[in-house]
Structure 1
Amino acid sequence: MEEERLLERCRKGDERAWAEIVNRYWGLAFRVAYRILRHKEEAEDAAQDAFVQVYLALPNFRHQSQFRTWFYRIVVNCALARLPPSPVELLDESQQVELVEGAHEDPEGIVLARERAQLLDWAIKQLPPEWRTVFVLRELEGLSYAEIAEVLGIPIGTVESRLFRARQRLRQLLKPLLGDG
């Protein structure tokens, strides 16, 4: 209810309401874009592009879906439009540290967790964009199959199929590297 009022205020040109929308959704936009693009500056640009598109399209948003779902769709499309033709860098050091904060306290455990995070990052980048996007939205963002289908405009069966293939490919890539087979 509060969000609907905020969106209505945005439609009427209220700059404070727009700033609140940006504050609420910037983290989500950057996180999704980064997980698809795996490059900080490109993710920031994709997030900014998404906010411009949202701002321009907001007068036409009719609540046929939740704002968050509509917003995800725009962010994903902006990120996919920026996918580079070549691989991008691994996570930088500060992001690796964030990923392993919950790891063992001993130095060896931290190093192993960091290496696994780098391997997972590398493996995710090897996925075709359509598999990577579904994997990111489900496994890293926690969206339901129905939400992913709505965000991407594809049937739930296609979501299931792409997610299955993404998981299968990740297992193929990671199993020999992690010494589990």
Structure 2
Amino acid sequence: MSDSGLPDDPDGDRTSDPSPADDGAESRNPLEEAADATLASRAMDGDTHAFEVLARRHGPLMRVYSAKLLNSDIESDDVVQEAFLTGWRQIDQLDSPAHVRNWMMRIVTRKAIDRIRVRRTHDDIDDWDPPAPAETSPERVVIARLQMDAVWDALDKLPSDQRRCWLLRETAGYSYQEIGDSLGLPLSTVRGLLSRARRFLLTEMEAWR
């Protein structure tokens, strides 16, 4: 595992072994545009570059989500790195490459739950066991996990521009102007895309309200 939290290549003779001298820049460009399913399939075959792209693509969202569960940015970084390690080691257990994002989110959720349990154990002094805060109780965390799965399923149904706008706004905190600059879209288009995405997600998530 490198300092960035991405897995080191366990077999030094693999051509995918990343190094500054690697002249495979041309081969990395298509990976950045590849679908999650393609990247996951390649990662299952031992391609570390493909897994690194997945980690870069979904890592920010994993950090935002785990930080909300843990109420700690520092712990969130640790949890996401642990999730990357587990994901790399268990990538062969992935049932459907197309669902790799949900799979990785479930891993980071389990890691966050484990961290919350450790906190509670360390906080138990002289057999004093106060109830966990409502927002970090195991029951609430499980509900949050199920709700997150439902959100991802709903997001997958959105057109790509709506999904990107929503993710940049709601998970990364981008302003409308920053979203437009990032995606090369007029401000009025960003507003329209976000409005349609929110209406759709409100309908899809009605059962969770």
TM-score (norm 2): 0.45
**What is the letter of the counterpart of residue 8 of structure 1?**
S
Q: How does 1:124-163 map to 2 (within 5 A)?
A: 126-127=134-135, 128-135=137-144, 138=147, 143-144=149-150
Query: Offset of 1:15 from its aligned partner?
Result: 2.3
The equivalent position to 1:82 in structure 2, one of 78, 101, 115, is 115
1:54 maps to a residue whose letter is G
Matched, 1:21 2:50: no
Distance 1:137 1:39, change over 3 A: farther
Q: Secondary structure at the match of 2:60?
A: helix
Tell me, yes or no, if the aligned pair for 2:40 and 2:50 is still in contact at 8 Å: yes
**Which structure dedicates a bigger proportion of its chain to helix?**
1
Rounded to whole Å, the distance in 2 between the matches of 1:64 and 1:13 is 14
In structure 2, what is the Cα distance between the partners aligned to 1:3 and 1:126? 35
4+ residue segments displaced more than 4 Å: none
Percent of residue pairs identical:
21
Structure 2 CA distance for aligned equivalents of residues 29 and 35 of structure 1: 10
RCO higher in structure (CA 8 A, sep ≥6):
1
Distance of aligned partners of 1:131 and 1:63 in 2 relative to their CA distance in 1, 3 Å threshold: same
8 Å contact from structure 2 (residues 106, 145) kept in 1:
no
- Say which SS state the counterpart of residue 90 (structure 2) adopts: helix
Q: Secondary structure at the match of 1:144?
A: helix
CA RMSD, Structure 1 to Structure 2 (Å): 3.1
CA spacing shift, 1:58–1:129, aligned 2, 3 Å: same
Runs of at least 5 residues in structure 1 that lack an aligned partner in the other structure: 87-124, 148-162, 165-181
> Which amino acid in 1 is paired with 2:53?
E
Instruction: Evaluate the alpha carbon distance shift between residue 60 and residue 74 of structure 1 in structure 2; reply closer, same or farther with a 3 A threshold.
Output: same
1:70 aligned residue (94, 103, 118): 103
Paired residues in the alignment total 110
Structure 2 residues not aligned, in runs of 5+: 1-33, 124-132, 154-207
